[in-house]
Amino acid sequence: MPRSHPGRPAHEPTDATRQTVQMHTMVGTPQEIVADVLGIDSKTLRKHYRAELDMSKAKANAQVCGTLFKKCLAGDTTAMIFWLKTQAQWKETHVVEHGNSPAEYMTDAELERIARAGGDGTATTQDSPSKPDRIH
C-alpha cells in the first residue's frame, strides 16, 4: 500500500519478527519494550502482531500448566499441593483449639484469684498479705 507521506518505510512483519514478538510476550516483556526491540512504535506492534500479543500468554500458561500437571501425576507433593490450592480451592487454616486448658480444672475461686492478680498466676492470700500464693 503506498504511503501518502514521507517518513519511515511501512513495517512488514516476517516469520522472524512474529517469533520474536511471541517469545517476548510469552515471558511477559512489556509491549513498549517489544516494540523497541523491533524498532517500531507500540501502535504498529499492536496493529501488525495482534494475534501474537493475544495468544502468546495463553500458550505460555498452557505449557506451564501442562508441566505442572505432569509433575502432579508423577507424585511431586509440592506440585500437588500447589495445584490443589490454586485449582481446587484448598487452603491452609490455622485452628486454635480451646479445650483442655488448665482453667477447665480450676475452681471458680481459683479463677477469681488469678483474675484479681492480673492473670499471672500469683495472688496474695488474706491470711498472709505479704506472701504470694502460687497456683499450680
**Residue 29 pLDDT grade (very low, low, confident, very high; cuts 50, 70, 90):** very high
pLDDT at 128: 44
The reply to whether the predicted model has a pTM over 0.75 is no
Q: Can you give the residue ranges of every domain in the chain?
A: 15-76, 102-134
Percent of the chain scored above 70 by pLDDT?
79
pLDDT at 127: 45
Query: How do residues 3-19 score in pLDDT, each as one tens digit?
Result: 566 777 899 999 999 99
Integer Cα distance of 69 and 61 in angstroms? 12
Give the Å distances, CA to CA, from 29 to 18, 20, 113, 121.
Answer: 14, 11, 67, 61
Integer Cα distance of 51 and 56 in angstroms? 8
SS3 (DSSP) at 123:
strand
57 vs 121, more confident? 57
